[in-house]
Structure 1
Amino acid sequence: FNGIEESDFCLVIGANLRIDAPLVHARLRKRALLGGFDLAYVGGKLPSHRDFTFPVDYLGDNPNTIKDIIAGKHPVSSKILNAKNRMIILGMDALTRSDGHALIESLGAYASATPIIQNDWNGFNILHKAAGRVGGLDIGFVPQKDGKSTLDILNAASTGEIKVVYLLGADEIDFDLLKKAFVIYQGHHGDRGAHVADVVLPGATFIEKNATYVNMEGRVQQTIQGLQPPGEAKEDWRIVAALAESLGQTLPYNTLDDVRKRMIKENVIFERLDEISKMPWRPMPNLKSTLSSESFKPASWSFYMTDPISRHSPTMAKCIQEIDEPIRQREIAYG
């Protein structure tokens, strides 16, 4: 996303930019108004209040369009090859489909084989919706060898194969699949996960702890604690360390500085605050997945309630009532 202002062509797939990332949409609009820039969109048809606010070439919602572009059989294929700085933005509405693996594999291979990836230019972008996901990926917080994905964990819990599930601030999953499991929830505001939990470990909000975040551009940022956590609430790393010790697995972290040193050991970008670190391009693994024929659809996504804090905010609730709901009713009335 760092090079939007220098790009001259962008292909957006399965991303509702005005809702998912308004600032990215604003930057693309600014680039379009300067001229010499084209944007094509493959995805579900967007309602008027969520559609792009600048000219866009809508390519429809058929996944076969992606195949044609990659195979060089679509008019957009030549636009990508003839552009100087071309970009792909792949949204989570696409990646959370059943064929998400196939999409990222095929598009990643396409990016590697074309000038989308160059020594001084990386035009392959994934638009995440969760604030902590980029940092989690940077630190390697992914299933390890023989590990399970989120969906695998949920399915195994639903059958009783997994007996205990630990939710670390996880509130955007299908909780009906956890009815047979013993659920531990670590988080704040008593959100969705807390309501199904057998044990709740109260954590601290972002203003109640010193924390590290990574934004969409890969810029590492740190925040400073402004308030003390209420009651029994603690910083997340302290909860995990205390739990590990009670289980006889003492972790080598006595201070926040110890945690941050380990983060830097895992990935050096955590040492470079407020900088965009250039990371080497890694080819996507070929798992021989296949694209589905199911049409793309924009996901239901409430702009004003995207996390536990905003879902408990009277102000955000009023925004839903006074802004979103009237628009929804007008769309129902006028089709």
Structure 2
Amino acid sequence: MPALARTVLRTALSKVLHLHRERPLQHCRRFGALTSKPYAFRARPWELKSTESIDVFDGVGSNIRIDAVGTEVRRILPRLNEEVNEEWISDKTRFAYDGLKRQRLTVPMVRIHTGEANEQLVGVDWYKARAILVNKLVSAIREAATPATTQRSAFEAHAIIGPYADCESIAALRRIFYSMFPEGTAFVHVQGHANTGTPPTDFRYAYCANTTLAGLEHADVILLVATNPRVEAPLLNNRIRKAVLFGNARVGLIGCHADLTYNREHLWHLGTSPATLLRIAQGRHAFCSVLAKAQRPAIIVSQQAFQRHDGAAIFGCLATLVDHVPRLVPRDGSWNGLNVLHTAANTVGALDLGFDHTLKGNRWIDQSGAQQTSEQPWARAKLLYLLGADDIDGLEELPETCYVVYQGHHGDYGASIADLILPGAAYTEKNGTFVNTEGRVQRTARAFLPPGQAKVDAEILDELLVGLDHAAGFFDAAQEMEFLAPHLGVQYGLQEPDLIRTPNTGQVQLGGAKAERARSLPLSPMPFGPVIENFYMTDPITRASATMAKCVRVARYSNFEESSS
């Protein structure tokens, strides 16, 4: 290859890495036949088995094609879908698949004590693993039914849903957990963050991206609150960039400084704290005149803004802003500019199925009791079920009497503290339903079987439910899912929001009485922090990927390997 071509190609690759998204380089015909380096010389095209599926590394749900040979993924390519990802996929989606074959959980394991300070995980078969879990759950149910004589002896059971859990397994876990522990608490774990705060779930449009991904291209003013779409959702950031380039849209940012790849004359950094959002909501900021003149204004708020201790107050500011800017949600229904950006693949699906909680973080489950009794957080937890949840803060403070069950596909942090490990299937190894950040229902397809003795998550929970005699006959997780949320049975369906307005003023209601009380709550002076510190390593799959490790090294030190030729 000539030296000039190598220079231009290296510049193109640098820009791809810089933008966090990638168009297939095979389309660059002037450079000849280019191939992906991890895929080069690994397989021939006619040897590949192609499966159309969905990406789960962010909340967009990009449509992808999985090319595999046997039980190994050889490459992942984008599928054309103009409503979701067009022909783009992110760098993480395209190259993180090598993490699917490293640090996998392939057999059930139970932790045994071999001495005073010695512990080890021993592999067992599924029959013994289910027997151990059923016995432990039965004893936990008996303990939960026993009245507590003291506050310290109170019983708490918790379940945490990870970012990769599909709707079928979530519905099965909901059936099991609440049938055994009616007073238990279940949380939706957000990818890359320890807290679990969610916006009010009284109305679905209060926690979805109502403008839709394609609709953001038509916005003329966009307000970003506590979000960096370039790392949270690169494909959504691409839509905003198109609105700036072709629609001359103006973007206001409240949060950390970030290079969002827009033209600088169109990007205004308004502030870093919630006080700026409050001034805009009350009409006391210069940006209010820009919003008032906009025909199609839009606001995008990261879900992680609601995970702060003043998350309810931030939601109250959004409700006030919607009231003061009528064109955000006009009465004729021609536009809906309210958007909540989720970083996990199925947070919207979990909220649709009824998993939400008022607590702002897993670390403070026992905070009210801890302040009165000087106990540590998690002090009264006796049972913790982790469904693919790894990045949880405060688990090192779990008491020794707490029994931890981890169900997932990678040996990450959650598996390291578990007393019982149930190996599950990754997104390439199961048929599952996911709902992206705009509320669109999509389904993954199984490209090959899980490794070893691993099983699909819903199948594991179905067998557990039968073992506990809580199922009347055959339990179907898909039917349970559609019973709880009928719209989840429509693939690629996007449910139109039915806006609820007050009879007298016509203002949009974003929640019930709790959301109305949030308008008067005080805001914290603490500025918004960075959303994601490391784009290339946000979950167990990417942390196990050698390619993502190279991307981290290149992004931090810019030390591309130069060829001697």
TM range (shorter): 0.7 to 0.9
Specify whether residues 327 and 251 from structure 1 end up closer, same or farther in structure 2 by C-alpha distance, changes over 3 A only. farther
For residues 96-245 of structure 1, the aligned pairs below 5 Å read 96-112=307-323, 114-115=325-326, 116-118=328-330, 119-143=333-357, 150-153=362-365, 158-174=377-393, 175-180=395-400, 181-245=402-466
Contact 2:364–2:377 at 8 Å: present in 1 too? no
Deviations 1:177-229 (A, max 9, x none): 33543211111111211111111111111111111111222111112211112
Partner of 1:20: 232
Which residue of 237, 244, 267 corresponds with 2:485?
267
C-alpha RMSD of the superposition = 2.4
**Cα offset for 1:40?**
0.3
TM-score by length of 2: 0.53
Distance 2:398 2:532 in 1: 23
Amino acid in the other structure paired with 1:176? E
Please say if 1:276 is aligned against 2:494.
yes
**Cα offset for 1:16?**
1.2
Distance 1:167 1:246 in 2: 19
Amino acid in the other structure paired with 1:23? L
Contact 2:366–2:379 at 8 Å: present in 1 too? no
Please say if 1:326 is aligned against 2:537.
no
Please say if 1:286 is aligned against 2:553.
no
Which residue of 299, 304, 307 corresponds with 2:536?
304
- Local SS of the residue matching 2:516: coil
Q: Percent identity?
A: 37
Distance 1:78 1:273 in 2: 41
Ranges in structure 1 where 5+ consecutive residues have no aligned partner = 329-335
Partner of 2:172: none
Partner of 1:333: none
Specify whether residues 151 and 66 from structure 1 end up closer, same or farther in structure 2 by C-alpha distance, changes over 3 A only. same
Contact 2:231–2:532 at 8 Å: present in 1 too? no
- Local SS of the residue matching 2:381: coil
Partner of 1:64: 275
Which residue of 256, 273, 276 corresponds with 1:44?
256
> RCO greater where, 1 or 2, for CA within 8 Å and sep 6 or more?
2
**Cα offset for 1:81?**
2.3
Deviations 1:2-59 (A, max 9, x none): 220121111001111111111111111111111441110000223xxx4443231101
Distance 1:36 1:137 in 2: 35
Amino acid in the other structure paired with 2:294? A
**Cα offset for 1:109?**
4.0
Contact 1:109–1:283 at 8 Å: present in 2 too? no
Distance 1:233 1:200 in 2: 11
TM-score by length of 1: 0.87
- Local SS of the residue matching 1:302: coil
Contact 1:93–1:299 at 8 Å: present in 2 too? yes
Ranges in structure 2 where 5+ consecutive residues have no aligned partner = 1-210, 371-375, 500-508, 560-565
- Local SS of the residue matching 1:163: strand
Partner of 1:331: none
Amino acid in the other structure paired with 1:140? G
Please say if 1:92 is aligned against 2:303.
yes
Specify whether residues 105 and 245 from structure 1 end up closer, same or farther in structure 2 by C-alpha distance, changes over 3 A only. farther
Amino acid in the other structure paired with 1:121? W
- Local SS of the residue matching 2:404: strand
Deviates more, 1:232-241 or 1:185-194: 232-241
Greater Rg over alpha carbons, structure: 2
Distance 1:279 1:252 in 2: 36
Amino acid in the other structure paired with 1:313? S
Deviations 1:72-116 (A, max 9, x none): 111112222221111110013422222112112320343255321
Distance 1:232 1:179 in 2: 30
Distance 2:465 2:247 in 1: 56
